[in-house]
Structure 1
Amino acid sequence: MKFASGIVAALVMGSISFGAFAAKEISKEDAAKMNLTKIGSVTTSRTTSPMDAKRDLSKKADEKGGTYFVVIAGEKNEKTVHANADVYK
């Protein structure tokens, strides 16, 4: 029983920490208002849902050192979702 409680606690903490440090999606207008600096672009194409694509873009924006990202294009075909985003700091 303690083992299962430990697993649940670890999963909860992991999801909280992901949300706390993940790059946040914002609009193009917000990026302009906040006077952010564009530091690059990221793309994803191996995801199967829009939520997975957003999560992947956020992770890739983090890896580039970004704090925010703006989705600039997205397309869903039969099996995958493809999206592009600009990364800002």
Structure 2
Amino acid sequence: MFRLNLFLLLLIVLCALAVVTSQHRGRKLFQALEAEQEKVRQLDVEYGQLQIEMSTWATHPRVEKIARERLRMVVPAPQAVVPVNLQEAR
């Protein structure tokens, strides 16, 4: 009887340690999950900011200004524009 009680006590202690260990591991994993979700939120904010910045850089007036200043492009005179008929080009 004493051996059975000792065995059961040892089994209970081992089960208790396993429960504590699994709870600790679960909490650590939950903390890691929360940290990764925070990173996702930060990356979403940064992505939104980059999209706004990209749309700002690609506005028509800005592209036209760069074409005139850096590339020295000018709008051709109406007489210099030659329309192309796509039906005849085939």
TM-score by length of 2: 0.29
Question: Which structure has the larger Rg over C-alpha atoms?
Answer: 2
Q: Which structure has more RCO (C-alpha within 8 Å, separation ≥ 6)?
A: 1
TM-score by length of 1: 0.30
